[in-house]
Amino acid sequence: MQQIQFIQVTPEQLQKSILEGVRNQIQELKKNFQPKEPTQFLTRSQVAEMLQIDLSTVHNWTKKSILTAHQIGGRVYYKRSEVEDAMVELKKG
């Protein structure tokens, strides 16, 4: 068992030092923290408008698994992030 001795440090000074360290770590975490954005669902019409395509194209791309549809009750929705991820970058030359 390893022992640590604090020489010429009062319990209050030690507590203050620990609290300052914790505060500094929290401040660093806050700088890099990105809050999670809620999932945004789009209707077929919204997807068609967003991509400037016909509803029939949305339907065909869903059948071809280019777009992923989600059903709630009798309604069909698309996750905005999945629609954006379905777009692929064209390779040049």
Which residue ranges make up each domain of the chain? 41-86
Q: What is the overall mean pLDDT for the chain?
A: 88
Residue 62 near residue 47, CB atoms below 8 Å: no
pTM > 0.85:
no
Tens-place pLDDT, residues 42-65: 999 999 999 999 999 999 999 999
23 confidence band (pLDDT: 50, 70, 90): very high
Other C-beta atoms within 10 Å of 46: how many? 16
Residue 48 near residue 54, CB atoms below 8 Å: yes
